[in-house]
Amino acid sequence: MEFTAKAISEFLGGEIVGDPEVKVNDFSKIEEGRKGTLSFLANPKYTKHLYTTSSSIILVNKNLHLDHKISATLIKVDDAYQAFASLLNLYVQSVPKNTGVDAKAFIDPSSVYGKNAFIGAFTFIGKNVKIGDNVSLYPQVYIGDNVTIGDNTVLYPGVKVYRDCLIGSGCTIHAGTIIGSDGFGFAPQEDHNYKKIPQIGNVIIKDDVEIGANVTIDRATIGSTIIGQGAKLDNLIQIAHNVEIGDNTVIVAQAGVAGSTKIGRNCIIAAQAGIVGHLKIADKVIVGAQSGVTNNIEKEGEIVLGAPAYNAREKKREFVVSKQLPSIYRRFNELEKEVEMLKKKK
The closest of 185, 265, 172, 183 to 217, measured between CA atoms, is 183
As a whole number of angstroms, the distance between CA 35 and CA 55 comes to: 5
Containing H/E element for 343?
A: helix 325-345
Task: By CB under 8 A, tell whether 10 contacts a second copy.
Answer: no
Among 142, 204, 205, 245, binds a second copy (CB under 8 A): 142
Task: By CB under 8 A, tell whether 48 contacts a second copy.
Answer: no
Between 73 and 247, whose beta carbon lies closer to a second copy? 247
Q: What angle do CA 187, 193, 195 make, to 5 degrees?
A: 35
Q: If you ran DSSP here, which 8-state letter would residue 297 be given? A: B
Q: CA torsion sign, 311 to 313 to 318 to 319?
A: positive
Task: By CB under 8 A, tell whether 70 contacts a second copy.
Answer: no
Question: Shortest approach of a second copy to residue 69 CB, angstroms?
Answer: 26
- Listed in sequence order, the residues at least 6 apart from 122 whose beta carbon sits closer than 8 Å to its beta carbon are 104, 105, 139, 140
Task: By CB under 8 A, tell whether 64 contacts a second copy.
Answer: no
Task: By CB under 8 A, tell whether 178 contacts a second copy.
Answer: yes
Among 79, 133, 303, 312, binds a second copy (CB under 8 A): 79
Between 20 and 222, whose beta carbon lies closer to a second copy? 222
CB 278 within 8 A of CB 261: yes
CA 232 to the chain's CA centroid: 4
Residues 225-244, interacting with a second copy (CB under 8 A):
230, 232, 234-236, 238, 240, 242
As a whole number of angstroms, the distance between CA 146 and CA 128 comes to: 5
Task: By CB under 8 A, tell whether 171 contacts a second copy.
Answer: no
Catalytic residue among 49, 174, 241, 278: 241
Question: Shortest approach of a second copy to residue 275 CB, angstroms?
Answer: 10
- Centre a 10 Å sphere on the Cβ of residue 182 and count the other Cβ atoms it contains: 16
Among 3-11, 54-62, 64-72, 194-202, which window interacts with a second copy (CB under 8 A)? Answer: 194-202
Among 70, 253, 303, 312, binds a second copy (CB under 8 A): 253
Among 12-20, 48-56, 67-75, 140-148, which window interacts with a second copy (CB under 8 A)? Answer: 140-148
Question: Shortest approach of a second copy to residue 208 CB, angstroms?
Answer: 8
Task: By CB under 8 A, tell whether 196 contacts a second copy.
Answer: yes
DSSP line for 110-161: T-EE-TT-EE-TT-EE-TT-EE-TT-EE-TT-EE-TT-EE-TT-EE-TT-EE
Among 22, 150, 266, 287, binds a second copy (CB under 8 A): 266
Task: By CB under 8 A, tell whether 78 contacts a second copy.
Answer: no
Task: By CB under 8 A, tell whether 301 contacts a second copy.
Answer: no
Catalytic, 278? Answer no
The closest of 210, 202, 167, 197 to 181, measured between CA atoms, is 202
As a whole number of angstroms, the distance between CA 155 and CA 140 comes to: 10
Between 11 and 184, whose beta carbon lies closer to a second copy? 184
CB 119 within 8 A of CB 98: no
Among 13-21, 61-69, 129-137, 181-189, which window interacts with a second copy (CB under 8 A)? Answer: 181-189
Task: By CB under 8 A, tell whether 54 contacts a second copy.
Answer: no
Task: By CB under 8 A, tell whether 118 contacts a second copy.
Answer: no
Residues acting as catalytic residues: 241
